[in-house]
Amino acid sequence: MHKLGGKVEATSKREYGKAYLKIQEPSLILNGIKDPSVVWMSHGDEVIQLPEHFKCIASTDDCQFAVVEHSEKKIFGMQFHPEVSHTEEGQKILKNFIKICNLEESWNLELYLKYLLEYLKQYLKDKKVFFLVSGGVDSTVAFTLLGKILDKNHLYGMLVDTGFLRYKEAEKIHNMLSNIGIEIHIEDAKDLYFERLKYIYDPEKKRKIIGELFIEVQQNVVKRLNLNTEEWLLGQGTIYPDTIESGSTKFSHTIKTHHNRVDIIQKLIEKGLVVEPLKDLYKDEVREIGKLLGLPKELVEKHPFPGPGLAVRCLCNGEEKGIVKKIDTLLPEDINKKLKQLQCTIYQMPVKSVGVQGDKRSYAHPAAIIPVGFSFHNFLWNDYLEIARKIPNLIQEINRVILLLPDSEYLQNPENKFYLELATHHYLTPERIQILQIIDDIVYNFLKEKDIYYEIWQCPVVLLPLINKENKKECVVLRPICSTDAMTASVYEMPIPLLQELSERIYNTDLISYVFYDLTTKPPGTIEWE
């Protein structure tokens, strides 16, 4: 719009996540879509004046020019993301565009798989692959793909036990893959990882050190096995969102550097020493490829798990000090009125997490909704989700909203005093990771037991360096979300009786002070906190 002569300005009303698109004029691009329909936004800038010959086709409450059109030249503009699964009618809009362009739908994953296998066969003709397996969907599908075309002696799979895996995860992964005929070697590198990350608290530094250590461990094993480095390529299960979020595509900004996109790996890629069979695909497509390859549901539909593991779910802090502070004075009257009705107060927490706002990375604070009077019996998701949607749009320093799930002791206390402070010198230690593994295992087993595991895309459990002043114990955040491709995500609305039961199980460990539930969509918050 700017290039064509319109005006674009930063707006005071930012939009992240869910918005309702209302059609103002009929148009071929919006032919057959619901009115209104849900779209997914991510912007802090807005078109305030259209270029000549453009007209407004659709709007949202906070964005006048959400869809525009130049009828004669057939140019269409959209402020929202039609390509993401959370835009309800996005696929229909893209199909309309294909028709307008007189094109045909030609994307077919079965044909693509045949092409990919043939391409890899030619590309790896005289090569061997040393593959870093994580046990997640991406690496398992990629490793299986290579197993279809490479001789057993030409493919070596290794899982690095960093110390940041889930409870007994290395053993579970080994057994699960063995059951379907995939053999991998497990390399124990826990001591090395904890030593190198001893006093590191910055999320990007953590990710980069972890990514570089993967290569160091791999190269040590290559030397130990006396493999010819000219014959062996490095194999990874990288998918397209990893590349986008790492800022490695031509027009993307760094949101977070994935372990498979650190500098040392980028240099290997430039030298043609890395093979990544799935690097052009999204997660939902990878799952479909897995099904086509005959992999079982428990592998193909497994929750994603980050390469750096629990290291990026265990937030750290050096010497920085911070206090929990009330932010009700920064909020408009309607939100404060709603909080009062719900008998809640709201605070800005003195930790930061990664978010994605307007296609760029943000590193900002979560806001915590703290009940003063609370009853699970009167709990309605919409009340809290609507507040959580609005706050990051209004306050620039906040990119995430969490809700305290109180325990019975807190509820029985008429004063309900809320004590928290930022803990200094809290790093990645075996003790902190063990606490996180225990809570994470409780959550994982609970989701399976209650038969809701497959309703959820991913459920990070995050340990925060926020301690109760009285018992000196830390807090955890539950982050169950719904998604198909990880590019956008909505909050999983857990049935209330289950929510209460799960929080009680966690409190009963006596390992933590408070349990929070993340109410944030993506955007403005990324799925992981780091």
Bigger pLDDT: 272 vs 506: 506
pTM for this model (two decimals): 0.83
- The confidence score (pLDDT) of residue 256 equals 47
Bigger pLDDT: 279 vs 241: 279
Per-residue model confidence as pLDDT tens digits over 116-127: 999 999 999 888
Using an 8 Å Cβ cutoff, are 232 and 183 in contact? Answer: no
Compute the residue count for the chain: 530
Name 90's Cβ contacts closer than 8 Å, sequence gap at least 6. Answer: 39, 81, 82, 83, 84
Of 475, 466, 528, the C-alpha closest to 506 is 475
Per-residue model confidence as pLDDT tens digits over 360-383: 788 999 999 999 877 788 899 999
Distance CA 271, CA 473 (A): 48
In the three-class reduction of DSSP (H, G, I as helix; E, B as strand; rest coil), residue 224 is classed as helix
Using an 8 Å Cβ cutoff, are 202 and 177 in contact? Answer: no
Q: Helices 137-149 and 109-123 meet at what angle, rounded to 10?
A: 60
Q: Tell which CATH classification among 3.40.50.10490, 3.30.300.10, 2.40.37.10, 3.40.50.2300 matches the domain 325-518.
A: 3.30.300.10
Using an 8 Å Cβ cutoff, are 313 and 529 in contact? Answer: yes
Residue 202 pLDDT more than 90? yes
Rounded alpha-carbon distances, angstroms, from residue 443 to 172, 217, 308, 436, 437? 17, 31, 20, 11, 10
Of 106, 63, 499, 140, the C-alpha closest to 299 is 140
Is the CATH number 3.30.70.1450 carried by domain 109-310?
A: no
Q: How many CA atoms does the CB half-sphere of 39 hold within 13 Å?
A: 30
Per-residue model confidence as pLDDT tens digits over 430-460: 999 999 999 999 999 999 999 999 999 999 9
Percent of the chain at pLDDT > 70 equals 94
Is there a common fold for 7-100 and 109-310? yes
Would you state the structure tokens that stand for residue 73, as one six-digit string?
């030249």
Would you state the structure tokens that stand for residue 510, as one six-digit string?
């006596």
Q: What is the mean predicted confidence (pLDDT) over 11-17? A: 83
Per-residue model confidence as pLDDT tens digits over 410-437: 766 655 567 789 999 999 999 999 999 9
Distance CA 193, CA 515 (A): 28
CA gyration radius for the chain?
24
- The string of DSSP letters for 309-329 reads GGGGSB--BSS-----EE-GG
Per-residue model confidence as pLDDT tens digits over 279-324: 999 888 999 999 999 999 888 999 989 889 999 999 999 999 988 9
Residue 433 phi, psi (nearest 5): -65, -35
Using an 8 Å Cβ cutoff, are 231 and 143 in contact? Answer: no
Q: What residues are paired with 128 via a beta bridge? A: 232
Of 436, 444, 502, 505, the C-alpha closest to 475 is 436
Rounded alpha-carbon distances, angstroms, from residue 183 to 298, 303, 423? 17, 21, 43
Q: Which residue's structure tokens are 């390529």? A: 233
DSSP 8-state assignment for residue 458: B
Q: How many CA atoms does the CB half-sphere of 45 hold within 13 Å?
A: 11
Residue 140 pLDDT more than 50? yes
Using an 8 Å Cβ cutoff, are 11 and 394 in contact? Answer: no
- The confidence score (pLDDT) of residue 415 equals 56
Name 73's Cβ contacts closer than 8 Å, sequence gap at least 6. Answer: 53
Would you state the structure tokens that stand for residue 256, as one six-digit string?
């977070």
Assigned superfamily of 7-100: Class I glutamine amidotransferase (GATase) domain (3.40.50.880)
- The string of DSSP letters for 249-308 reads STTPPBS---GGGSHHHHHHHHTT-EE-TTTT--HHHHHHHHHHTT--HHHHTPPP--TT
Q: What is the mean predicted confidence (pLDDT) over 37-66? A: 94
**CB atoms near residue 519 (< 10 Å):** 24
Using an 8 Å Cβ cutoff, are 276 and 119 in contact? Answer: no
CA 46 from chain center: how many Å? 26
- Compute the mean pLDDT over every residue in the chain, rounded to the nearest whole number: 90
Q: Domain locations in the chain?
A: 7-100, 109-310, 325-518
